[in-house]
Structure 1
């Protein structure tokens, strides 16, 4: 018994953790506040939960404006979906966001023509930082059986990274993106404090896993955080290719 006491004393002196652990009760590592808010899930994983903002309800574009003139968005709403009107240009949300969870569904027409980047091209700009195609783009394209550069296929962060896998459905079928967006943060002098990050599920399949963006999308040259910004709208692109325009439905967002 004497030897056991000496060994235990030495062990406690060398490893104070054992002494603390011996004194800890289960209740000391349990906490009851803060209490998480109650959110009622949708009837399916694609249905908006109770705390979501509905960005497109299948009936109107009241949550959107035209990027050209900040006037009403003029894309075509019919049968619960909105279809790109290339003549009126890009549209973006009236509201601005920082961090969020976003659900959006999109459809490439079954009669799509063209190839490469000219085959149902559009883009979901996770943060729109200016007019035209300025912002951080998650590519939308028919990539079911359509060869192009891999950091430009559907599910890519355009010109920055390829998707982990190709989870495209056939043209004519509805597809979905579920996005977790963490906005970049800038210091007071405009320098970057923390980069933007994104996680994306494409048709329920993980294709971007907390990817760190190098900056807003650049068609030519490397991306960089050249200009600081705060909360931004979300933008949908009316691409200039000659293929049939794509459609969207069931768009909702949860601010995080």
Structure 2
């Protein structure tokens, strides 16, 4: 008999600061020492959240991103107040080249995007919109539900601080950023001078991350000095990592199988293009959880059907045309829980993660 049930969709609910691991609860010493955030050999201390294995890599004394797919590489622990120094260089010399530093971010991307909720410190060259709403000089702004107040009000009323002057060098040249973050305020120094800032940020404690956004970018000399805590409330802290592992590399169907042409992958999204199932080639943890974002076209009346260990599960489209996040609990079964997505015309899926759930006492 076909088993069919509706599952409610839900935003990923991370732990609050009150539940932080001991590492994240401990306040930074008053005279914090300068520490390297990159060991110059590999990406130990960093987590590739939602990109292909080769999107970020260590090369000599640099962290390099290819820019493809879009996504981010985050620290393996949270930071609150700090002074962060790093150098960055885009290799593109003529076309727009984009990347960024995410401050106080969540461990997973926001719904329907490859990027985290947080405050972005722009790493950008060769961009000059005619109306001047943004620059290539070191903008700071809130993204994907975070909040902040720019030091200088933006003429469009958005939460974005435009820099006071242009000190950013072009492609093939190294730029130095000093980011001072304290009590919800961020000040950015570009090549030796403060040019932009925000305050009243929320979150004001979270992960630091480097952004992949379509082009090659290099980072080096990444060093941090932690400053004393200013005691953020749980509501002012980013969510805490819960052990989610990405199942989709954003580029291709490695780790999945489908009939040729049945599903298309790229740009961080996999799309249904035929009538075959999209089947994960591994098995997920017994008693774990599967989390993913998905949408169907705005005029579609279709819902989404998964097959979990041979059992069909239907998830209702809450608002066709909009991204929604679903978490499905995996019933323990011998050998793990294989997963398959059933094709629906126009179906798009991204941010596919799995995690193990704590054993019940």
TM range (shorter): 0.5 to 0.7
The residue that corresponds to 2:63 in the other structure is 82
- Aligned 1:218-237 pairs, distance under 5 A: 225=202, 229=203, 231-237=205-211
Q: Quote the Cα distance in structure 2 between the aligned partners of 1:203 and 1:73.
A: 30
The CA deviation string for residues 195-222 of structure 1, in whole angstroms up to 9 with x for no partner, is: x21111101021125x325x5xxxxxxx
Q: Quote the Cα distance in structure 1 between the aligned partners of 2:170 and 2:135.
A: 18
Q: Quote the Cα distance in structure 2 between the aligned partners of 1:147 and 1:230.
A: 30
The residue that corresponds to 1:123 in the other structure is 100
Q: C-alpha displacement at 1:87, in angstroms?
A: 3.3
Q: Secondary structure at the match of 1:172?
A: coil
The residue that corresponds to 2:235 in the other structure is none
Identify the structure with the greater strand proportion.
2
The TM-score, its normalising length taken from structure 1, stands at: 0.60
Equivalent residues of 1:151, 1:163 under 8 A apart: no
User: Are residues 230 and 127 of structure 1, via their aligned partners in 2, closer, same or farther at CA, if it must alter by over 3 Å?
Assistant: closer
Q: Quote the Cα distance in structure 2 between the aligned partners of 1:181 and 1:99.
A: 5
Equivalent residues of 2:40, 2:62 under 8 A apart: yes
The residue that corresponds to 1:247 in the other structure is 218
The residue that corresponds to 1:205 in the other structure is 193
- RMSD over aligned CA atoms reads 2.6
1:112 aligns with 2:101: no
User: Are residues 88 and 171 of structure 1, via their aligned partners in 2, closer, same or farther at CA, if it must alter by over 3 Å?
Assistant: closer
User: Are residues 59 and 134 of structure 1, via their aligned partners in 2, closer, same or farther at CA, if it must alter by over 3 Å?
Assistant: same
The TM-score, its normalising length taken from structure 2, stands at: 0.43
User: Are residues 212 and 100 of structure 1, via their aligned partners in 2, closer, same or farther at CA, if it must alter by over 3 Å?
Assistant: same
Q: Secondary structure at the match of 1:87?
A: coil
Q: C-alpha displacement at 1:94, in angstroms?
A: 0.4
Structure 2, unmatched stretches of 5+, are 1-29, 110-114, 142-158, 228-361
The structure 1 segments of at least 4 consecutive aligned residues displaced by more than 3 Å after TM superposition are 71-74, 149-152
Q: C-alpha displacement at 1:57, in angstroms?
A: 2.8
1:98 aligns with 2:80: yes
| Bigger radius of gyration among the two | 1
The CA deviation string for residues 2-43 of structure 1, in whole angstroms up to 9 with x for no partner, is: xxxxxxxxxxxxxxxxxxxxxxxxxxxxxxxxxx85x8xxxx
Q: C-alpha displacement at 1:63, in angstroms?
A: 1.4
Q: Quote the Cα distance in structure 1 between the aligned partners of 2:205 and 2:116.
A: 17
User: Are residues 79 and 204 of structure 1, via their aligned partners in 2, closer, same or farther at CA, if it must alter by over 3 Å?
Assistant: same
Equivalent residues of 2:179, 2:187 under 8 A apart: yes
Moved more, 129-138 or 89-98: 129-138
- Aligned 1:1-256 pairs, distance under 5 A: 51-68=33-50, 75-85=56-66, 86-87=68-69, 89-109=71-91, 111-114=92-95, 119-129=96-106, 130-131=108-109, 132-143=115-126, 146-148=127-129, 149-158=132-141, 160-183=160-183, 196-208=184-196, 211-213=198-200, 215=201, 225=202, 229=203, 231-239=205-213, 241=214, 244-256=215-227
Structure 1, unmatched stretches of 5+, are 1-35, 40-50, 184-195, 216-224
